[in-house]
Chains A and B, each alone.
Chain A
């Protein structure tokens, strides 16, 4: 309590002389409760979460987040930014995680270079998917952003912004190495050290924003599939054993999106395609649309999202009983087929704070429950998720 008072006093001090502060400390957070009706599968925000919500029980674990950010403008051209965030981790802890730690150099308004730990830019309107106050929905659509569990990497990006054809063209290139771990049915998958690179193109004109993005990652490590690899090798199926490997395999991501934001009306949509060299993953498509109309401080919204994978036809045959059946079952476990319909409302009840209430109807295809932890194979794929959050920034 004393510490939080001290922090408040400190922030008050920084704001008091906010003419052009060289140093600023700001924060954000979400107090979120959500319940998922099904007792057959857990609902998570994205694949980095080891446990989700189920059984109609209210829980704060998937959406509650707290972050602090310090920035220091050393000169007009150079800025240092650090951000730490506490949220549910792959190991079920909420230990603070260093999210950003970079130096930004802007020698000219047309050019920005960043070096250090920076955000993986997947959202159209921001790099961070954790600042609930900054977007409409309780969480970014899980069908679209669920597989994108990377939130930062260690490396650099360079962005150029130029006026073009009555609008603004913005091109960013990034490269670096990941520093993250993911949770899954096989336990923790440490992807640290995997090289990532990509290009992001945005074109903004009047109320329109168009985006196209290409990114790739080359995984530096295998998942914990040794328990299946070893018997496949021992039984003389090296190709099947190799199909489980992810080390040195590349995954490619392509996406396109469109935003229309004029006055009280906001409509946005994105599509993506993910292609994996590693045969243990299925290639997938996803998309979402979201529409909102602001009525004073209250903003109702509706949305729909879908994520579907394609089963592989290039898997090596394992023509032996038991092991062959188990191999096919295991490989089919990566199948995804889910659709979500969303209805919600955001209420900006006071400055820098918003309440949100959201209802999601989730429909997953039978047997395609990869993205739901601890799903019972007999699950009918249906669940209703109700969420209420208090989002704030300071």
Chain B
């Protein structure tokens, strides 16, 4: 009996956690000329290694400020890194004058507006936040 109860509590916990974690996706401007992106493409673009879309456009990624949990979740599931690691990574490149981090915006709505206004724009957000201004090209497994 006790074991069944524990199993129920445990599965409720897991279920609840899964529900709270809506799926993260990467979106682009519908005019970007691309349908899908590979994981390596997304890593290269957001980490500033190679910012060129397969269609030839210059990629313009956008980061959502630390205050939302989106940024932490995105980098955790993409490269398994915490935000301090990502910040140290950017300090390394910025102060070497090598490349620049993604533009930072304060909210999902601003990110959507950015992507909708830039043919090479990319952003990450929850699937439920996607609207017709943008197109999903990559899904993250959390």
Mostly, the B contact residues are mixed
For chain A, the bracket of interface size reads 35 or more
Which residues of the partner chain A approach B87 to less than 8 Å between Cβ atoms? Answer: 351-352, 393
CA gap between A161 and B58 in the complex, in Å: 13
Complex CA gap A163/B37 in Å reads 14
B19 CB, min distance to chain A CBs, angstroms: 25
Expressed in whole angstroms, the minimum distance between the Cβ of A174 and any Cβ of chain B is 13
A134 touches B50 (CB 8 A): no
Q: Does A135 contact B (CB under 8 A)?
A: yes
Give the total of B residues in contact with A, Cβ under 8 Å. Answer: 33
**Is B44's CB within 8 Å of the partner chain A?**
yes
What is the distance, in angstroms, from B27's C-beta to the closest C-beta of chain A?
Answer: 18
Q: B91, A127: Cβ atoms under 8 Å?
A: no
**0 or 1 for each of A107-125: is its CB under 8 Å from B? (1 = yes):** 0111000100011000001
Give the residues in chain A near B103, CB-CB below 8 Å.
18-20
Q: Tell me if A114 and B97 are in contact (CB < 8 A).
A: yes
B96 touches A133 (CB 8 A): no
Cα distance A125–B83 in the bound complex, in angstroms? 18
A367 to chain B, nearest CB (A): 38
- B31 beta carbon closer than 8 Å to chain A: no
B82 on the interface (CB 8 Å rule)? yes
A126 to B94, CA, bound (A): 9
Which parts of A285-336 form the interface with B (CB within 8 Å)? 294, 296-297
Nearest-CB residue, chain A, relative to B59: A109
Q: Which of B51-72 contact A (CB under 8 A)?
A: 51-52, 58-59, 66
Q: Counting CB contacts under 8 A, is A348 at the interface?
A: yes
A163 contacts B50, C-beta separation under 8 Å: yes
Q: Which residues on the A side are within 8 Å of B88 (C-beta)?
A: 133-135, 348, 354
Q: Which residue of B lies closest to A67 (CB)?
A: B95
Are B40 and A134 touching (Cβ within 8 A)? no
The B-contacting residues of A in range 53-111, CB under 8 angstroms, are 67, 69, 71, 76, 79, 81, 83, 100, 102, 104, 108-110
12 CB contacts below 8 A, A to B, read: A20-B103, A76-B58, A102-B97, A109-B59, A127-B97, A131-B96, A163-B50, A167-B40, A168-B44, A263-B79, A263-B80, A351-B83
The 7 A-B residue pairs with the shortest CB-CB distance, nearest first, are A263-B80, A134-B92, A348-B84, A127-B96, A109-B52, A126-B92, A134-B91
Q: Which residues of B contact A (CB under 8 A)?
A: 40, 44, 49-52, 58-59, 66, 79-85, 87-89, 91-98, 100, 103-105, 110, 114
Q: Apart from A69-B95, A119-B96, A131-B91, what 13 extra A-B contacts exist at CB < 8 Å?
A: A18-B103, A76-B58, A109-B51, A109-B58, A114-B97, A125-B92, A126-B95, A128-B96, A135-B92, A297-B82, A348-B88, A354-B84, A393-B87
